[in-house]
Structures are given as C-alpha cells and as structure tokens.
Amino acid sequence: MLTRACLTLSCWLLLPAAVLAASFTVNPVRVDLAAERPYAVMRITNLADTPVTLQARAYIWTGDEANNGLTATDAVILNPPLLSVAPGATRFVRLGLRTPNQGKAEATYRLILQEVPKTSDPTEGAAIHTILRISIPVFAAPKTPIAAKLDWSLHESGAGKFKLVATNSGTAHVQIRELSMAPAEKTVEPKALTAPVYVLPGQSRTWEVEAPDFAGQATMKVVAKTDAGTTEQIVGATNSGVAKNPN
C-alpha cells in the first residue's frame, strides 16, 4: 500500500539580491512495494510560477550510519527518469522493480528527486537559485512473511554519558517515530531522543545520551513509538567502572 501523504518543498535565501524559489509537492513520500504488486506511481505538482526540471535516480539503501549508505542501482525502473513540470502542472513518475524480491527479507531503496539547475539568465542579475533534492524511501517486500525485531543495548562510558544502540535483527524495517529513555527504578523525567529514524534489517542506530540524573543506574526503560506500534523494554546498562550514584 502506498503511504498517502503530501510533502511541500520550498527553499529560498533572504539575501539582498533577487532570489529564485522552487516549490512542488510529491505524493506519496514513502513507497511500499509487494511481490504481487512491484510497481507504483508518484504524483509531482509544480506550485511555483516557473517550470522545474527534475532528475529521478534510484539507489540501494543500506542504512549504514558510518557511510553514505546509498549505492546507485538499475534494480528499480523509473519512467521517466527526467521530467519537466510546467507552472501549476502535474506529472507522474512510474517506478517498479526490474525483478520482484525473491529473498526472505525486505529490500530497501531510496528514490532521489533532484532539481536540474537552470541556465543562468543575464536579465535576472545577481539571482540565486536553490537546488532542491528530496529522498523518498522505497520498501520492497518478498512473498514470505517479514517482521522487524528491535534489540537494545546500553553502555555507560562516563557518569551520565550513555550509548544506546538499537539493532534490527528482523527481516523488515522499523521506523522509530518517538523515543525516550528513563531509569527503570528511579522516578525522573524521561529523556527524549532524536526521532524519527529508520532502522533497516540487519542495521543498527546509535544515540549518544548525556543525562547526569541517570548516572550509575543499572537498568533503563526504553519506550519506542514505531510504525508497528509502541514498545517498552527494560535494558541493562553495562558500565566501565563508573561510580554508582547512591541516589
């Protein structure tokens, strides 16, 4: 099923020169493909008063935090890969898998839509044009059932300094929309952590947490609100000789 959403993108720079702005909507902003329906259609509408030309490219997405995590691929067919959209007009990009996912885990891609730079117009003087680039996740499920499985680990490297790691040992992605951490045996305000983030199958995400009030606590309650529901887990903290907080 396609996620029904609409993303409006608008960029400008507040500088003392003329500025060219671009604005368009894309629907959906996330694509879910299945073995029995390995194709989808994206709707792009130009809201600006000037035409926009967009280049569409597909990438394998590994979710690798340490690197870019994107590798160009022809496994996803895009038609058309280059399109011009007139002011107020709507165009469509059709995408599909060259071969349906035959594996046992979800395949993950990113579709990058990037504005093609316009040719400079001497009559515009010192105009500045901001190039838009958006990234859309594409998930391709196989025929076999898949599910995410989040495993948590926690390490306190210094007093109140933690490293929280989420590892997805399942066969499908999970999107963590909200995340918080608090001592399991101490009444304090939970610490909200950066979200939303995706954790892809076989990948991990790490949060560096500074919470002096949590220093020396042996266990933490991690609450994650995800696209698959809300989970609460008690996680034991490994500790490298950090003095325990008697409070």
Provide the CATH number for the domain around residue 209.
Answer: 2.60.40.1150
Kindly state whether residues 159 and 124 are assigned to the same domain. Answer: no
**Residues 6+ positions from 69 with CB-CB distance below 8 Å:** 61, 62, 63
Evaluate whether residue 81 is within a structural domain. Answer: yes
Kindly state whether residues 103 and 202 are assigned to the same domain. Answer: no
Kindly state whether residues 133 and 176 are assigned to the same domain. Answer: no
Kindly state whether residues 136 and 39 are assigned to the same domain. Answer: yes
Evaluate whether residue 50 is within a structural domain. Answer: yes
Kindly state whether residues 24 and 85 are assigned to the same domain. Answer: yes
Query: What does the alpha-carbon distance between residue 201 and residue 173 come to, in Å, rounded to a whole number?
Result: 5
Query: What does the alpha-carbon distance between residue 163 and residue 211 come to, in Å, rounded to a whole number?
Result: 11
pLDDT score at 63: 80
Kindly state whether residues 113 and 207 are assigned to the same domain. Answer: no
Residue 187 DSSP symbol: -
- In the sheet that holds 7-11, the strands lie side by side as 7-11, 22-27, 39-46, 90-97, 76-79
Evaluate whether residue 189 is within a structural domain. Answer: yes
Per-residue model confidence as pLDDT tens for the chain (247 residues): 443 333 434 333 333 333 334 588 899 999 999 988 999 999 999 988 889 999 999 999 998 755 678 999 999 999 999 999 999 999 999 999 999 999 999 999 999 999 988 765 555 555 545 678 889 999 999 999 999 999 999 999 888 999 999 999 999 999 999 999 999 988 889 999 998 999 999 999 999 999 999 998 999 999 999 999 999 999 999 974 454 544 4
Query: What does the alpha-carbon distance between residue 159 and residue 209 come to, in Å, rounded to a whole number?
Result: 11
The CATH number assigned to the domain holding 75 equals: 2.60.40.10
Q: 3-class SS at 201? A: coil
Q: What is the DSSP string of 65-88?
A: SSS--EEE-SSEEEESSEEEE-TT
Kindly state whether residues 163 and 123 are assigned to the same domain. Answer: no
Task: Give the count of domains, the chain.
Answer: 2
Cβ–Cβ under 8 Å, residues 89 and 83:
no
Q: Domain range holding 155?
A: 150-239
Evaluate whether residue 2 is within a structural domain. Answer: no
pLDDT score at 7: 41
Evaluate whether residue 62 is within a structural domain. Answer: yes
Q: What is the DSSP string of 113-134?
A: EEEPPPPP-GGG-S-EEPPPEE
Kindly state whether residues 114 and 169 are assigned to the same domain. Answer: no
Domain end call among 140, 166, 196: 140
Residue at token pair 């885990």? 105
Kindly state whether residues 29 and 67 are assigned to the same domain. Answer: yes
Domain end call among 118, 140, 162: 140
Evaluate whether residue 6 is within a structural domain. Answer: no
In total, the chain counts a number of residues equal to 247
Kindly state whether residues 31 and 111 are assigned to the same domain. Answer: yes
pLDDT score at 78: 97
Domain end call among 140, 169, 195: 140
Evaluate whether residue 246 is within a structural domain. Answer: no
pLDDT score at 13: 30
pLDDT score at 66: 58
Query: What does the alpha-carbon distance between residue 152 and residue 220 come to, in Å, rounded to a whole number?
Result: 11
Residue 93: exposure state from Cβ atoms within 10 A (0-12, 13-18, ≥19): buried
pLDDT score at 170: 97
Kindly state whether residues 106 and 169 are assigned to the same domain. Answer: no
Residue 154: exposure state from Cβ atoms within 10 A (0-12, 13-18, ≥19): buried
Kindly state whether residues 126 and 178 are assigned to the same domain. Answer: no
Evaluate whether residue 4 is within a structural domain. Answer: no
Whether the CA torsion 146, 99, 95, 204 is positive or negative: it is positive
